[in-house]
Structure 1
Amino acid sequence: MSPHKTQTVAYVRVSSTDQNLHRQLESIGPVDRVFEEKVSGGSRTDRTALAECIRYVRDGDVVRVASMDRLARSLRDLRDIVDEIARKGATVVFVKEQQTYGRDAEDAMGQLMLNLLGAFAEFERSLIRERQAEGIRIAKAAGKYLGRAKKLTTEQVTEARELVATGVPKTVVARTLGVDRATLYRALAGTLSPPTAREDPGTTAPR
Structure 2
Amino acid sequence: MGQKVGCARVSSLDQNLDRQLELLQAAGASQVYKEKISGSTRHRPQLEEVLRYLRKGDQLIVTSMDRLARSLVDLHTIVEDLVGRGVSVRFLREGQTYSAKADPIAKLMLGLMGSVAEFERSIIKERQAEGIARAKARGVYKGRAKVLTDSQVALARQWVDDGVPKAEVARRLGIGRTTLYKYFRGEAGES
Regarding TM over 0.5, the answer is yes
Moved more, 28-37 or 67-76: 28-37
**Does 2:13 match 1:26?**
no
> Using the alignment, how far apart are the partners of 2:141 and 2:68 within structure 1?
35
Residue 12 of structure 1 and its aligned partner are, at CA, apart by 0.7
Q: 1:35 maps to which residue?
A: 33
> Partner amino acid for 1:25?
L
Bigger relative contact order, structure 1 or 2 (CA pairs below 8 A, ≥6 apart)? 1
In structure 2, the gaps of 5 or more residues are: 148-191
Contact 1:11 1:36 in 2 (8 A): yes
**Matched letter for residue 138 of structure 1:** R
Q: Tell me whether 1:80 sits opposite 2:63 in the alignment.
A: no
Deviation of residue 35 (structure 1)?
A: 1.2
Distance 1:131 1:78 in 2: 24
Q: Using the alignment, how far apart are the partners of 2:50 and 2:108 within structure 1? A: 25
Q: Which of 124, 127, 138 in structure 2 is aligned with 1:128? A: 124
Counterpart Cα distance in 1 of 2:81 and 2:100: 10
User: Counterparts in 2 of 1:58-77, with a 5 A limit?
Assistant: 58-77=55-74
Q: Is the 8 A contact 1:16 1:38 kept in 2?
A: yes
User: Share of identical aligned residues, percent?
Assistant: 52
Distance 2:132 2:45 in 1: 34
- How far has the Cα of 1:19 moved from its partner? 1.9
Query: By how many angstroms is 1:140 displaced?
Result: 2.5
Taking the TM superposition and a 5 Å limit, the aligned residue runs for 1:73-152 are 73-105=70-102, 107-145=103-141
CA separation of 1:142 and 1:24: change in aligned 2, threshold 3 A: same
Runs of 4+ in structure 1 off by over 3 angstroms are: 142-146
Retained in 1: the 8 A contact 2:132–2:141? no
Rounded to whole Å, the distance in 2 between the matches of 1:59 and 1:37 is: 23
1:51 pairs with one of 21, 32, 48: 48
Aligned partners of 1:70 and 1:118: how far apart in 2? Answer: 11
Give the alignment's TM-score, normalised by structure 1: 0.65
Q: Distance in 2 between matches of 1:121 and 1:77?
A: 13
Q: Secondary structure at the match of 1:100?
A: strand
Partner Cα distance (1:139, 1:36) in 2: 34
Displacement after TM superposition at 1:65 (Å): 0.3
- How far apart in 1 are the matches of 2:113 and 2:46? 24
User: Which of the two has higher C-alpha Rg?
Assistant: 2
The count of corresponding residues between Structure 1 and Structure 2 is 145
Q: Distance in 2 between matches of 1:65 and 1:145?
A: 35
Aligned to 2:171: none
